[in-house]
């Protein structure tokens, strides 16, 4: 999906022929079907083609980029955005240290910040369509590229960003490095994890509702694709095979409980993370699961796993691998 400022066009090569997609969109509150057709067509070109941003008929290489999400993907390509909102669901705390000099749109105010800098392009997630007036505000400063959110394979998302910013080789280099790190980690885990062991990733909310995420969220890609660990059969059938997220009542959790359970918990809005074993043990379902000696439970901070763009995903891989290695090795001893 691709959205550009009214005066911009996107040009690309899809298949054997040259294709130019010009996106002129009316109010986002009207003509929804027309907008969807136009944006879907543009997104098809974006997926298949070599993308160029044009301004006044000239190719623009975006250097001054505002990341309304995807800061970690840009960092993986060696690009530091000029501005981004530093909330945990938009920029992972794991990568904030790499954004020195990047303006914080959340702390300093989006409109005020953007008025003080020169911007080539703004990259934003599609969920901003549901934030009335947000995209129109951003379009006052630069072309806005709207990308799918939590729908792409993580490696394809990096490749897509590489095409947008003209760093396709950097994208392939990062992917190769990431997959090499994952292969090394998987080799270490193979020595400690028993044959037939299953894994799963679960997020526990403050009301103890449970969300089982697919591979596009919360670092789950690391488990199921990069480390190639075996998901619980129900997770494979109902979440991964259908490419959807699943919400389950706490009473149903045993039907989805893997041998190795990564449990995402809020660490700032409550004490669920800090006291996770005590808190969960107060609940009968969790108490019974934790009592089973074969099962391992690994707590993850929601704030660190909210985002899983490339730079964050790599750091999350280290966290998840270390948790498994340390806990499993301790149990063996």
Residue 74 in domain? yes
Task: Determine the number of helices (DSSP H) and then strands (DSSP E) in the chain.
Answer: 13, 14
Domain boundary among 170, 201, 226: 170
User: Mean pLDDT per segment of 10 residues, for the chain of length 333 residues?
Assistant: 35 32 34 43 49 59 88 96 90 92 83 85 85 83 83 90 90 97 94 89 89 91 96 96 92 94 85 79 89 87 92 96 78 37
Residues 218 and 73 in one domain: no
Q: For residues 261 and 200, what is the distance between their CA atoms, to the nearest angstrom?
A: 5
Residue 3 in domain? no
Residues 156 and 61 in one domain: yes
Residues 218 and 160 in one domain: no
Residues 165 and 212 in one domain: no
What pLDDT, on a 0 to 100 scale, did the predictor assign at position 21? 34
Q: For residues 92 and 157, what is the distance between their CA atoms, to the nearest angstrom?
A: 17
Q: Read off the tokens for 144.
A: 């806005």
What pLDDT, on a 0 to 100 scale, did the predictor assign at position 269? 67
Residues 209 and 121 in one domain: no
Its pTM stands at: 0.81
Task: Give the list of residues 6+ apart from residue 314 with CB closer than 8 angstroms, or none.
Answer: 76, 178, 181
Residue 57 in domain? yes
Q: Which domain holds residue 51?
A: 9-170
Residue 314 in domain? yes
What pLDDT, on a 0 to 100 scale, did the predictor assign at position 45? 45
User: What CATH number should be reported for the domain holding residue 294?
Assistant: 3.40.50.1980
**Beta-carbon neighbour count of residue 179 at 10 Å?**
13
């Amino acid at each position: 999906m691709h959205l550009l400022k009214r005066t911009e066009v996107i040009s690309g090569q899809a298949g054997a022929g040259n294709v130019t997609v010009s996106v002129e969109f009316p109010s986002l509150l009207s003509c929804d079907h027309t907008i969807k057709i136009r944006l879907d067509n543009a997104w098809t070109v974006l997926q298949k083609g070599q993308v160029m941003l044009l301004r006044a008929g000239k190719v623009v290489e975006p250097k001054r980029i505002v990341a309304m999400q995807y800061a970690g993907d840009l960092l993986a390509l060696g690009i530091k955005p000029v501005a981004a909102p530093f909330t945990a669901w938009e920029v992972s705390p794991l990568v904030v240290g790499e954004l020195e000099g990047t303006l914080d749109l959340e702390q300093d105010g989006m409109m005020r910040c953007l008025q003080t800098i020169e911007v080539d392009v703004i990259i934003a997630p599609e969920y901003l369509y549901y934030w009335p007036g947000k995209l129109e505000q951003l379009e006052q400063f630069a072309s806005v590229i709207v990308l799918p959110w939590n729908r792409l394979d993580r490696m394809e998302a990096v490749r897509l960003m590489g095409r947008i910013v003209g760093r396709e080789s950097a994208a392939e280099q990062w992917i190769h490095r990431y997959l090499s790190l994952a292969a090394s980690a998987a080799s270490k885990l193979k020595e400690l994890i028993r044959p037939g062991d299953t894994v799963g990733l679960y997020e526990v909310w403050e009301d103890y509702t449970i969300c089982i995420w697919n591979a596009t969220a919360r670092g789950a890609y690391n488990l199921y694709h990069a480390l190639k660990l075996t998901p619980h059969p129900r997770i494979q059938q109902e979440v991964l095979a259908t490419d959807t997220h699943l919400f389950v009542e706490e009473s149903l959790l045993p039907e989805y409980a893997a041998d190795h359970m990564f449990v995402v918990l809020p660490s700032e809005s409550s004490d669920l993370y800090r006291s996770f074993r005590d808190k969960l043990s107060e609940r009968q379902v969790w108490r019974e699961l934790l009592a089973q000696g074969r099962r391992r439970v690994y707590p993850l901070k929601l704030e660190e796993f909210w985002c899983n763009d490339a730079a964050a995903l790599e750091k999350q891989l280290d966290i998840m691998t270390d948790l498994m290695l340390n806990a499993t090795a301790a149990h063996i001893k």
